[in-house]
Structure 1
Amino acid sequence: MTTPSVLVLGIGNLLWADEGFGVRTVDFFYRHYQFPPHVQLMDGGTQGLYLLSYIQAVTHLLIFDAVDYGLPAGTIKEVLNDEVPRFMGAKKMSLHQTGFQEVLAAAQLTNKYPQEVVLLGVQPLQLEDYGGSLTPLIKAQIPTVIERAIYHLQRWGVTVDPRHPPLTNQAGLSEGALAIERYEAERPTEAVACRIGDARILNQHFNDEHE
């Protein structure tokens, strides 16, 4: 049996509350489990087409993301293979999904597309909370999504072993001020930080509309 080359990719924008689900999930997975050399875990953030070469280089792709399926908040949904691009483009929550849909399309056009693609997505609860972290409901779905990820990796012949002890938050894929504990602990209060975006841009937009 040929050894698969596997990419486990978390995508999304962790600055917008539940939009960061994919990034936080792949970071949790990396800190709590160890993998063989042919498996790479990556925080894809909102990089869009910069991810193309990574997608083209692997035989198996597993994606974590927050996706608007039109389902109750917190619902976990698995999407496989040819259905993945369609679901990522159905109800775009942000530009990162437009970008990643284009990445998958470009990989298909170049005939360098993974043999298998799995999207493990969760329906978000809160998005318009700039600088916010995952809501408790969505954060609670991470262990279940990890279980499904392990199932698919084992199905692909990948050995997944727990780390004892897990890596610290600062040793994960999200480092420095973006590591989850520091990110949550150092968030400014509402009195000094806008919760729905950059106040300068929002104020300008408001003024333009009312001139």
Structure 2
Amino acid sequence: MPGPGILVAGIGNIFLGDDGFGPEVIKRLLAEGEPPPGVRIVDYGIKGVFLSYDMYGSDRLILVDALPGKGRPGEVVVLEIGPEDIEPVPFDAHAMSPGAILATLQRIGEPLPPTYLVGCRIDTTFEDIGLTPRVEAAVPVAMEAIRTLIDRCLAERSVGRS
């Protein structure tokens, strides 16, 4: 089981159009080379149950996911998530959404680490491989937001050690 550190987790289904945003961002971040020490960057795709195990013990969590609903498609949003933002949902290993994963962590008594969501407002989740042009254009914006969060988290951790 991975230990403390910063976990950057891509979530989404590449077979459902823009829902593949998280995996695409992670793929491109990994193509840039090794992350800084203490940072793990992982594409979980639709394997939320694995994320729930891997995040156990992480001291920072950055989720990367598509955001359905209101908003301009292609808009990148960075949210800080706290325990009060998580609604209880029943455990279902076959439908482990980010909310279900975080709720499960709370249910087993594990404290929620500082958690962020880097999300992109989507155009579609129709069965199709590949991102729509507006969501594709948002990938570099999300990558920069993640780099900024990683730098901030690493700085916070080093201050906490002194």
Q: TM range, normalised to the smaller chain? A: 0.7 to 0.9
Q: 1:143 is matched with which residue?
A: 140
TM-score (norm 1): 0.63
Q: 1:35 is matched with which residue?
A: 35
State the 1:147 CA deviation.
0.9
The share of aligned pairs that are identical, in percent, is: 24
Unaligned segments of structure 2, at least 5 residues = 156-162
- The answer to whether the 8 Å contact 1:49/1:100 transfers is no
Q: 1:108 is matched with which residue?
A: 106
Structure index of larger Rg: 1
State the 1:76 CA deviation.
1.3
Map Cα deviations across residues 132-178 of structure 1 (whole Å, 9 max, x no partner).
201111011011111111111111126xxxxxxxxxxxxxxxxxxxx
CA distance in 2, matches of 1:8, 1:31: 14
Q: 1:198 is matched with which residue?
A: none
Q: 1:49 is matched with which residue?
A: 49
Higher RCO (CA-CA < 8 Å; seq separation 6+): 2
Q: 1:186 is matched with which residue?
A: none
CA distance in 1, matches of 2:69, 2:85: 13
Map Cα deviations across residues 5-24 of structure 1 (whole Å, 9 max, x no partner).
01110000001110100010
Unaligned segments of structure 1, at least 5 residues = 90-94, 159-211
Q: How many residue pairs are counted as aligned between the two chains?
A: 148
- Decide whether aligned partners of structure 1 residues 96 and 74 sit closer, same or farther in structure 2, where only a CA change above 3 A counts: farther
Q: 2:116 is matched with which residue?
A: 118
- Decide whether aligned partners of structure 1 residues 36 and 114 sit closer, same or farther in structure 2, where only a CA change above 3 A counts: farther
Question: Counterpart of 1:56 in 2: which secondary structure?
Answer: coil
Question: Counterpart of 1:49 in 2: which secondary structure?
Answer: helix
CA distance in 2, matches of 1:97, 1:76: 24
Alignment of 1:1-211 (within 5 A): 5-82=5-82, 86=86, 99-128=97-126, 130-157=127-154
